[in-house]
Amino acid sequence: MKPYELFEVLAGKTWRSIDRFSRNRIHLGEDAITSNNLDALASAGPACVFLEDTRAQESTKGCDFELWIGSSYLGWRRYAVQAKKIQVSSSRYASLAHEVSGVLQIDILDSYAGANRALALYCFYNHSTKPHNWNCNLSPELEQLGCSITPSRVVRAAIAKHGARNYTHLHSQPETLPWRCLLRCQNFVSKGAPGHSGWPSLAENFYPQLPAALQRLRAEGGKLSFEDQPELFNSNIRFRPQWVGIVDVGGQSRDGG
């Protein structure tokens, strides 16, 4: 299974799981969804490698997880990702304006991403019957919105607008896409990819090669310190991701965008 196919499988599974747990009146938290999805990716073989910061104090977290997506041929793009799960009953994202020690989580995410040359994204875990737009060039597949992504600036605008912290509004924004687009669509994966319309330039988070620490992780496995890695993390800020993942898409991009 190609990495983008696994992202598609996980989006569909997330969509159905949120629906099932809601109907059965059993709580399913966003942390559990993130852990399950990343575990599935890490179990997929050598194309996907993940590591975890076990300190796990919220006040030190710049984002839920990082994704390094690319290959030795294409180069790599670095994404800092904050996950949010929908409330099925209201189709709202209740914690979109969450604060950590009095600071908006989105401000922490943007600060972390800016300091570390990553693109700040939100990943929404969804199931909803509410209206929405389909912004991917591939044929509409509702379950692919089980895991959707959008730049943080779209979320920032939604936080500032009354009544906008919901599935319909955020999935009506042209920047909001299925998360598989990061791996499958030419606008993200091909050399010199411009990104999707309305997205920040992907030149901002492009790396010709993986940092040495991540190269060693792929080659040798084991653990990686989240502290003394100046090549990987800006030492001037204390924020770190909870997980870092490397997803190798191979030699060339796929269709769509």
Provide the β-strand partners of residue 61. 240
Dihedral over alpha carbons 198, 203, 208, 212 (to 10 degrees): -90
pTM for this model (two decimals): 0.93
**What local confidence, expressed as pLDDT, does residue 55 receive?**
66
Non-local (6+) Cβ contacts of 243 within 8 A are 34, 38, 50, 51, 52, 53, 64, 65, 66
> pLDDT per residue over 210-231, tens digit each?
998 898 888 877 677 787 788 8
Arithmetic mean of pLDDT, 50-56: 75
Give the total residue count for the chain.
257
The residues spanned by each domain of the chain are 3-248
Arithmetic mean of pLDDT, 127-149: 95
